Structure 1
Amino acid sequence: MPIRPVCAAAIAAFMTFGVPSGSAARVQQHPTPPDVDAVLARLDDLYRSKSSIARMEVIVTSPRSTRTMRLKAWTRGEDEALIVIEAPPREEGTATLRVGANLWNFLPRIARTIRVPPSMMLGSWMGTDFTNDDLVKESSMHKDFASRIDRRSDAPQGWWLRLDVRPGIVGRWARIDILLDEAELPVEEHHFDRKGRLARVITFDEIKTLGGRRLPSHMTLTPVDTPGQRTEMRYLEAQFNVALPDDTFSLSRLERGK
Structure 2
Amino acid sequence: MLRILLSAILILTNAWAALSQNATDIVRKADEKMRGEKSSYSEMTMRIVRPKWERSISFKSWSKGTELSLVYITDPAKEKGQAFLKIKREMWSWNPTINRTVKLPPSMLSQGWMGSDFTNDDLLNQRSIVVDYIHSITGTENIDGEECWKITLLPKPNAPVVWGKIVMWITKKHYLILKSEYYDEDQILVKTELASQIKQIGGRTIPTVYELLPAEEPGNKTIVELNKIEFNININDSFFSLRNLTQAR
Q: Which runs of 5+ in 1 are unaligned?
A: 1-33
Tell which structure's C-alpha radius of gyration is larger: 2
The runs of at least 4 aligned residues of structure 1 exceeding 6 Å deviation read none
Of 176, 189, 208, the match for 2:166: 176
User: Structure 1 residue 154: deviation in Å?
Assistant: 4.2
Q: 2-side partners of 1:186 and 1:48: how far apart?
A: 12
Of 44, 56, 60, the match for 1:72: 60
Task: Name the CA shift for 1:101/1:187 in 2 (closer, same or farther; >3 Å).
Answer: closer
Deviations 1:81-112, CA, capped at 9 Å, x for gaps: 11000001111001101112221111111111
One-letter amino acid of the counterpart of residue 67, structure 1:
R
Q: 1-side partners of 2:211 and 2:185: how far apart?
A: 22
Q: 2-side partners of 1:119 and 1:138: how far apart?
A: 18
One-letter amino acid of the counterpart of residue 121, structure 2:
D
Contact 1:52 1:75 in 2 (8 A): yes
One-letter amino acid of the counterpart of residue 178, structure 1:
M
Higher relative contact order (Cα pairs below 8 Å, separated by 6+ residues): 1
1:210 alignment counterpart: 201
Q: 2-side partners of 1:89 and 1:80: how far apart?
A: 26
The percentage of aligned residue pairs carrying the same residue is 29
One-letter amino acid of the counterpart of residue 109, structure 2:
M
Alignment RMSD, CA only?
2.0
1:63 aligns to 2:51 (yes or no): yes
Q: 1-side partners of 2:107 and 2:65: how far apart?
A: 23
Q: 1-side partners of 2:27 and 2:163: how far apart?
A: 16
One-letter amino acid of the counterpart of residue 201, structure 2:
L
Give the 5 Å matches for 1:5-20. Answer: none
Contact 2:132 2:161 in 1 (8 A): no
Give the 5 Å matches for 1:223-238. Answer: 223-238=214-229
Contact 2:59 2:71 in 1 (8 A): yes
2:247 alignment counterpart: 256
SS of equivalent to 1:135? helix
Of 155, 161, 164, the match for 1:165: 155
Q: Which runs of 5+ in 2 are unaligned?
A: 1-20
Query: TM-score with structure 2 length normalisation?
Result: 0.85
Query: TM-score with structure 1 length normalisation?
Result: 0.82
Name the one with the larger helix percent. Answer: 2
SS of equivalent to 2:246? helix
Aligned length: 227
Task: Name the CA shift for 1:168/1:234 in 2 (closer, same or farther; >3 Å).
Answer: same
Q: 2-side partners of 1:175 and 1:232: how far apart?
A: 23
One-letter amino acid of the counterpart of residue 72, structure 1:
K
